[in-house]
Amino acid sequence: MSVVTEPRPAGGGSAAAPKPDYRVTGRRVLRSEWTKLWSLRSTWITLGLGLLFLVAFGIIAAARYRSSLNSGRQLDPDFAGATTLSLSLFGVPLSQLALGVLGVLVTAGEYSTGMIRSTLAAVPRRLPVLWSKATVYGVVALVLALVGGFATFLVDSGILSGTPAALTISDSGVVRSLLGATVYLGLVGVIGVALGAMLRSVAGAISALVATLMLVPGLISLLPTAWHNAIQPYLPSEAGQAMYALHQAPHTLAPGFGLLVFAAWTAIALAGAAWRLSRSDA
C-alpha cells in the first residue's frame, strides 16, 4: 500500500506570518512625542506651576485691588488704570517662564540624557521629530493657557464686580485679548522647544529664553529715546504683550501686527533649530 504525502512549505515549518509594518509616519512620530511628554514627572510639575502662576497671581492681583479700594488707601502705581482683564493676566510673565522652560526640557532634556540618539535612530529624517515636538507641546501649552486665562478672568469678574476695573466677558476686546494671551503663551512654549533643539543645552537654552523675554527689553530701554521707540515694539516680549493688550499705548503695535511679529520670531527660532538638527550629529 502506498502512502500519499502532501508537500510541505520550504523550511519545514508553517507559513510565515506577515511582517509587522514598522514604517515611520507623521502620526506615529506625534504619538511617540505625546507619550514621551507625559511620561516625565517634570511635565506635570512644570505645567502645574505654569497654571498656578497664571491663575493664582491673577486672582491675588484682583483681590489686592479690591482690598485697596475697600480700605480707602491710595492705589499702588501698578494698579493705576487696571481692569479685570489686566489683573487676570497679571501672572502671564511668570507663566511664560514655566511654559518656556518646559519647552526647553522637551528637546534639550533628551540631549542631556542621550535619549536623542534613540529618537533620531527611530526617525532618521530628523526634522519630523522637531515638528512633532513643537506641535505636541505647543498644543498642550495652548490648551493650558486657554483654560487658565478664561477661568481666571471669570473669577476676577466676580471679585471686581461694581469696581472701576469691572469688565465682563461680553465687553469689547475682552475675548480677543484672552485669546491673544493664549496664543502668546502657546508660542512661547514652541520657542522654548526650538531653543532647546538649537542650543542642545538645558542651561544655555533657558538662559537664552530668559534673556530674550526679560533682559533684552531692559537693555533696550537704556538706548536713546528715538532708538528705543523704534526697536522695542518689535522685540518678542513687546510684540507678545501687544497681542493681548486691551488698549494700545503709544509706540506699541496693533494686536494683529503684534501677532505677525511674534509668529515671525517663532518661525526664526524653529528655522534655526531645523538647520542645527539637520546639519549636526546628535
Cβ partners under 8 Å of residue 209, min gap 6: 97, 100, 101, 104, 191, 192, 195
Give the integer Cα–Cα distance in Å for 117 and 123.
10
Consecutive 10-residue averages of pLDDT for the chain (282 residues): 51 53 76 90 93 96 87 71 92 95 94 86 86 96 97 95 90 94 97 95 95 90 87 93 88 91 97 91 67
Q: Do residues 181 and 151 lie in contact, with contact meaning Cβ atoms separated by under 8 Å? A: no
Q: What angle do CA 146, 50, 251 make, to 5 degrees?
A: 70
Rg from Cα positions in the chain: 25
Best CA proximity match to 87, nearest among 180, 166, 173, 146: 166
3-state helix, strand, coil in the chain (%, to 5): 70, 0, 30
pTM exceeding the 0.85 threshold for the entire prediction: yes
Say what the pLDDT of residue 1 is. 43
Say what the pLDDT of residue 80 is. 75
Q: Do residues 182 and 146 lie in contact, with contact meaning Cβ atoms separated by under 8 Å? A: yes
Say what the pLDDT of residue 9 is. 52
